[in-house]
């Protein structure tokens, strides 16, 4: 039978090229592993080196190009994503497993991100400083850093790299981009959009392949002036240890995000938020809800309502409309979650789910039913370690202060939410919760492109945020000028 799998190439110095060793890897659809989404370049260090060199060569021309022209490229790339959204969304669903409507939203959000930075990037100015010399003008201005690396995970394979590429490019940096090998195609589509929009050779380079092969060159090289990384705390820690002193780092890492349910909570809302935060994207969002801290007076009613809703959730291929959960994105992720289900059963009280689904289409995908545990202690592994799957842990807390204390008892601090109408709780929660994203009567997931995003503690590096204006600041450095006459 003829091999109909499409092969995708690296993009280096303005050309789509195979990797030097000629090796490839296949990426499978997690909803149906008989479907090979594509064949990708298993690049080695020499390919990564070529990408870095191309980006170095292109930097001077790109930084000097009028910002209006850089903005036009981002806007045109956004149009390209919008024009091709149906095809790209279907590919995203096939490579990652999320629902088609979510994949469509993700590409449209990526286009919106390109447009946002095309405009916002043109407002990034410096400051002037009053001083005593009438014949001198003192001011600051911002310049690009140089060659920057973008490394992204599989769970938002379009929108996360879009949030990094757009601010890097509008401010005049050149980029080496490595998408996740578990969902590389959407990242390549972003690059294709930039190519179609006329980005000059070498300004954006994309190399697919294993982290162990490509990673060291694009993270350790002295030529790399900044790394914007989103992924696990484990990988982030590894990279953090090895980077050069002058390389600026921005890392968005793991989470173990709490949802607090107080005695005055609207329980229907609380259940909605738990379902949406915990199970949408099959629990594979860094800001996903994983711990539910609930006071005794509403615990039973909340749990009953939650279990009813969980029993109604529809699980299936994201290509079919109306599904609530899809497959886990990879076999490895499925196995990780299954391991945590076993751990949960040994340390807490299992209420439902966590079973591998079989029969029909389920036999060909990585499907697991959504799981809920109760009587969980915050010290247990299922309450402390990031699972990254459809697993909720219900933890009883004595009162508001106890909820806050236990919510903060975590190595992570990405997102946190409370369900209450009490203004005192809202106020104290906002001030005392250790999370970079604070939500009140809203799900722990979701964040705006025009607002800063990042976590506290082991959820992020502490120096820089991404998104909004913070994204532009990360990719630029300040020069202070004393201009006399």
Ligand X SMILES: O=S(=O)(O)c1ccc(CO)cc1
Ligand Y SMILES: NC(=O)c1ccc[n+]([C@@H]2O[C@H](COP(=O)([O-])OP(=O)(O)OC[C@H]3O[C@@H](n4cnc5c(N)ncnc54)[C@H](O)[C@@H]3O)[C@@H](O)[C@H]2O)c1
The one among 38, 44, 172, 255 contacting ligand Y by CB under 6 A? 255
Minimal distance, residue 280 CB to ligand X, in Å: 11
**C-beta of residue 176 within 8 angstroms of C-beta of residue 52:** yes
**C-beta of residue 226 within 8 angstroms of C-beta of residue 202:** no
Beta sheet of 349-352, edge-to-edge order: 349-352, 371-374, 391-396, 289-294, 257-261, 415-419, 437-440
Does the footprint of ligand X cover residue 286 (CB under 6 A)?
Answer: yes
Minimal distance, residue 250 CB to ligand Y, in Å: 10
Does the footprint of ligand X cover residue 159 (CB under 6 A)?
Answer: yes
Does the footprint of ligand Y cover residue 43 (CB under 6 A)?
Answer: no
CA-to-CA distance for 176 and 196, rounded, in angstroms?
18
Task: Say which entry of ligand Y, ligand X, none residue 235 contacts (CB below 5 to 8 A, set by partner kind).
Answer: ligand Y
Picking from 294, 309, 232, the residue whose alpha carbon sits closest to that of residue 258 is 294
* 219 vs 284 by CB, closer to ligand X: 284
Does the footprint of ligand X cover residue 460 (CB under 6 A)?
Answer: no
Does the footprint of ligand X cover residue 163 (CB under 6 A)?
Answer: yes
**C-beta of residue 146 within 8 angstroms of C-beta of residue 480:** no
User: What's the sign of the alpha-carbon dihedral 341, 342, 343, 347?
Assistant: positive
Does the footprint of ligand X cover residue 194 (CB under 6 A)?
Answer: no
Task: Say which entry of ligand X, ligand Y, none residue 219 contacts (CB below 5 to 8 A, set by partner kind).
Answer: ligand Y
Task: Say which entry of ligand X, ligand Y, none residue 146 contacts (CB below 5 to 8 A, set by partner kind).
Answer: none
Task: Say which entry of ligand X, ligand Y, none residue 415 contacts (CB below 5 to 8 A, set by partner kind).
Answer: none
CA 254 vs CA 141, 169, 293, 353: distances in Å: 34, 26, 19, 23
Task: Say which entry of ligand Y, ligand X, none residue 238 contacts (CB below 5 to 8 A, set by partner kind).
Answer: ligand Y
Question: DSSP labels for 142-191?
Answer: EEE-SEEEEE--SSSTTHHHHHHHHHHHHTT-EEEEE--TTS-HHHHHHH
Picking from 22, 116, 6, the residue whose alpha carbon sits closest to that of residue 71 is 116
Kindly report the number of other CB atoms within 10 A of residue 428's CB atom.
Answer: 15
Kindly report the number of other CB atoms within 10 A of residue 463's CB atom.
Answer: 11
The total number of residues shown for the chain amounts to 485
Question: Is residue 252 annotated as a catalytic residue, yes or no?
Answer: yes
Task: Say which entry of ligand Y, ligand X, none residue 71 contacts (CB below 5 to 8 A, set by partner kind).
Answer: none
Task: Say which entry of ligand Y, ligand X, none residue 101 contacts (CB below 5 to 8 A, set by partner kind).
Answer: none
* 194 vs 380 by CB, closer to ligand X: 194
Task: Say which entry of ligand Y, ligand X, none residue 447 contacts (CB below 5 to 8 A, set by partner kind).
Answer: ligand X
**C-beta of residue 194 within 8 angstroms of C-beta of residue 165:** yes
Interface characters, 94-133, with ligand Y (x: CB under 6 A): ----------------------------------------
Q: How many residues bind ligand X (CB under 6 A)?
A: 10
* 84 vs 384 by CB, closer to ligand Y: 384
**C-beta of residue 35 within 8 angstroms of C-beta of residue 29:** yes
Q: Parallel, antiparallel, or unpaired: how do β-strands 224-230 and 32-41 relate?
A: unpaired
Picking from 213, 208, 222, 223, the residue whose alpha carbon sits closest to that of residue 178 is 208
**C-beta of residue 267 within 8 angstroms of C-beta of residue 232:** no
Minimal distance, residue 308 CB to ligand Y, in Å: 29
Choose the binding region for ligand X from 7-15, 152-160, 337-345, 384-392 (rule: CB under 6 A).
152-160
The one among 156, 229, 373, 429 contacting ligand X by CB under 6 A? 156
CA-to-CA distance for 178 and 188, rounded, in angstroms?
9
Choose the binding region for ligand X from 285-293, 299-307, 360-368, 382-390 (rule: CB under 6 A).
285-293
Does the footprint of ligand X cover residue 382 (CB under 6 A)?
Answer: no
Does the footprint of ligand X cover residue 299 (CB under 6 A)?
Answer: no
**C-beta of residue 416 within 8 angstroms of C-beta of residue 439:** yes
Does the footprint of ligand Y cover residue 180 (CB under 6 A)?
Answer: yes
Per CB under 6 A, contacts with ligand X among 71-110 are 106, 109
CA-to-CA distance for 316 and 325, rounded, in angstroms?
6
Per CB under 6 A, contacts with ligand Y among 49-88 are none
Does the footprint of ligand Y cover residue 416 (CB under 6 A)?
Answer: no
Minimal distance, residue 82 CB to ligand Y, in Å: 24
The one among 219, 280, 378, 476 contacting ligand Y by CB under 6 A? 219
The one among 195, 252, 324, 396 contacting ligand Y by CB under 6 A? 252
Of 96, 195, 213, 252, the catalytic one is 252
Kindly report the number of other CB atoms within 10 A of residue 379's CB atom.
Answer: 10
Residues near ligand X (CB under 6 A) = 106, 109, 156, 159-160, 163, 285-287, 447
The catalytic site residues sit at 252
Residues near ligand Y (CB under 6 A) = 151-156, 178, 180-181, 211, 215, 219, 230-232, 235, 238-239, 252-255, 286, 386, 388, 414, 455, 459
């Amino acid at each position: 039978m003829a091999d109909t799998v499409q092969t995708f190439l690296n993009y280096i110095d303005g050309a789509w090229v195979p990797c030097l060793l000629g090796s490839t890897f296949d990426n499978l659809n997690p909803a149906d592993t008989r479907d090979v989404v594509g064949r990708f370049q298993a690049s080695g260090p020499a390919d990564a080196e070529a990408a870095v060199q191309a980006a170095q060569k292109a930097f001077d021309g790109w930084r000097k190009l009028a910002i209006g022209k850089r903005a036009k490229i981002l806007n045109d790339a956004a149009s390209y994503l919008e024009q091709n959204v149906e095809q790209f969304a279907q590919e995203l669903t096939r490579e990652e497993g999320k629902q088609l409507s979510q994949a469509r939203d993700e590409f449209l959000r990526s286009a919106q991100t390109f447009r946002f930075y095309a405009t916002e990037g043109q407002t990034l100015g410096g400051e002037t400083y009053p001083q005593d010399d009438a014949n001198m003008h003192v001011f600051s201005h911002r310049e690009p850093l140089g060659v920057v690396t973008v490394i992204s995970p599989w769970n938002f394979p379009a929108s996360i790299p879009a949030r990094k590429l757009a601010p890097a490019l509008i401010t005049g940096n050149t980029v080496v981009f490595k998408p996740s090998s578990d969902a590389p195609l959407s990242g390549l589509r972003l690059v294709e959009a930039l190519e179609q929009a006329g980005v000059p050779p070498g300004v954006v380079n994309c190399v697919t392949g294993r982290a162990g092969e490509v990673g060291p060159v694009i993270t350790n090289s002295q030529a790399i002036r900044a790394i914007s990384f989103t992924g696990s705390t484990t990988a982030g820690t590894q990279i953090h240890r090895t980077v050069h002193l002058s390389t600026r780092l921005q890392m968005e890492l793991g989470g173990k995000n709490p949802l607090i349910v107080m005695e005055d909570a609207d329980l229907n809302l609380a259940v909605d938020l738990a379902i949406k935060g915990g199970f949408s994207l099959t629990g594979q969002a860094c800001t996903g809800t994983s711990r539910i801290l609930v006071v005794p007076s509403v615990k039973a009613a909340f749990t009953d309502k939650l279990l009813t809703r969980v029993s109604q959730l529809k699980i299936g291929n994201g290509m079919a409309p109306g599904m609530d959960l899809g497959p886990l994105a990879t076999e490895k992720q499925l196995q990780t979650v299954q391991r945590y289900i076993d751990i949960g059963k040994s340390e807490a009280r299992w209420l439902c789910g966590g079973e591998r689904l079989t029969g029909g289409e389920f036999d060909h995908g990585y499907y697991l039913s959504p799981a809920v545990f109760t009587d969980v202690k915050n010290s247990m592994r299922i309450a402390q370690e990031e699972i990254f799957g459809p697993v909720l842990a219900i933890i009883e807390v004595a009162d508001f202060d106890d909820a806050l204390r236990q919510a903060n008892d975590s190595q992570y601090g990405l997102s946190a939410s409370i369900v209450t109408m009490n203004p005192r709780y809202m106020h104290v929660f906002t001030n005392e919760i250790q999370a970079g994203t604070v939500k009140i009567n809203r799900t722990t997931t979701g964040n705006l492109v025009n607002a800063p995003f990042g976590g506290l503690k082991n959820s992020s590096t502490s120096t820089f945020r991404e998104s909004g204006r913070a994204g532009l600041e990360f990719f630029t450095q300040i020069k202070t000028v004393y201009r006399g006459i």
